[in-house]
Amino acid sequence: MSRTLLVLAHPRSDSLSAAVADRTRRLLEADGGSVDLLDLYAEGFDPRMTPVDEPDWKNREKEYSPEVHAHMERMEAADDVIVVFPVWWFAPPAILKGWIDRVWNYGFAYGRSKPRLAGKGILWLPLNGEAGNSALTDALVVQLRSGISEFCGFSHAEVRVLYGTELSGCAEDERETRAKEVFAEAESAVTAFAARTREPAAAPASASA
């Protein structure tokens, strides 16, 4: 049974990002997988780096804060990681950046000859309000896949930007259709990711918008 750490970084539980994360959870569980949902806002994660979690380059065995070690354990327990978040100012939300800063730390995610995250896959699902932007895609791919995932030893890393997710910009009678399109794109990305990293995931029989 596969184990996925599903990370959500959006402050509203009724957001499109939250809906994508929920459908992703149901998709994976319908295929028999186990999902650990890490809702950064709901769990009250503090993204601020403080001295206790600042890397000590002379000691890769440094004991970080209990909160950070708890998150490290959740990452280690997972076979793969899926991260759902909105794109704000061409970048991930501050809470997600802070989670990476504090948890993907020296001695854990990097700084070892054999990375502890080696063998794991990661799928980033950014929701971008614009209809499409190749420059944004290129920048996110470099940052998330090369600058973070591969640097930290993930064996497989993908970035799938979901465009046109600002539903308030759609006519009211078009929002449901657009939401369904976003859900379909997300499910396609998750299914393809699962097929490349483990046994294929199957869509829930009773999936609805």
> In sequence order, what are the beta bridge partners of 83?
7, 124
Q: What is the pLDDT of residue 74?
A: 98
User: Coil, strand, or helix at residue 85?
Assistant: strand
pLDDT band for position 135 (cuts 50, 70, 90): confident
pLDDT band for position 169 (cuts 50, 70, 90): low
Would the pLDDT of 205 be above 70?
no
State the pairing for strand pair 121-127/156-159. Answer: parallel
Spell 114-153 as b/e; 16+ CB within 10 A means b: ebbbeebbbbbbbbbeeeeeeebbeebbebbbeebbeebb
Q: What is the pLDDT of residue 159?
A: 95
Mean pLDDT of 24-28: 96
> In sequence order, what are the beta bridge partners of 36?
5
Which residues lie closer than 8 Å to 6 by C-beta, 6 or more apart? 21, 24, 25, 28, 35, 36, 37, 38, 81, 82, 84
Q: Nearest CA to 131 among 165, 160, 159, 88?
A: 165
pLDDT band for position 171 (cuts 50, 70, 90): low
CB 80 within 8 A of CB 4: yes
Sign of CA dihedral 37, 41, 47, 52: negative
